[in-house]
Amino acid sequence: MPADFSTDSAIRAQLWHLRKGIIPAVGETRPQGTNALLEDIVVPVPALARTCMELIRLFDKYNYCNCMIFGHAKDGNVSPTTSAIPGPWTASVPSPRRGL
């Protein structure tokens, strides 16, 4: 979806609420007794899209499930988050096999 920016404080508050729920949402999907994995990666902004594509490819290759990539794109910062257990691809972004 195209990015939407807003100066409406109510919409911005809703978006921050969603953003703050990303890590707990991924963590809740993991089987009991396993860990959620969160990393922080910084790359040059022109390499950001390629980095995200490669992360998705690696998630797919090693069959990691419930993956999300989020961060501060304008700063070249992304935080891939996953359950630390392999499983079928169920991320909210399409896998490279299905196209981006």
Q: With contact defined as beta carbons under 8 Å apart, do 51 and 43 qualify?
A: yes
Q: What is the pLDDT of residues 34-86, one digit of tens each?
A: 777 788 889 999 999 999 999 999 888 887 767 888 888 888 888 887 765 55
Please say whether the dihedral angle defined by the alpha carbons of residues 10, 13, 18 and 21, taken in this order, is positive or negative. negative
pTM over 0.95? The answer is: no
Residue 66 one-letter amino acid: N
Burial of 82 per CB tally in 10 Å (0-12, 13-18, 19+): buried
Higher pLDDT, 23 or 20: 20
CB atoms within 10 A of CB 89: 17
If you search the block for the tokens 């404080």, which residue do you land on? 9
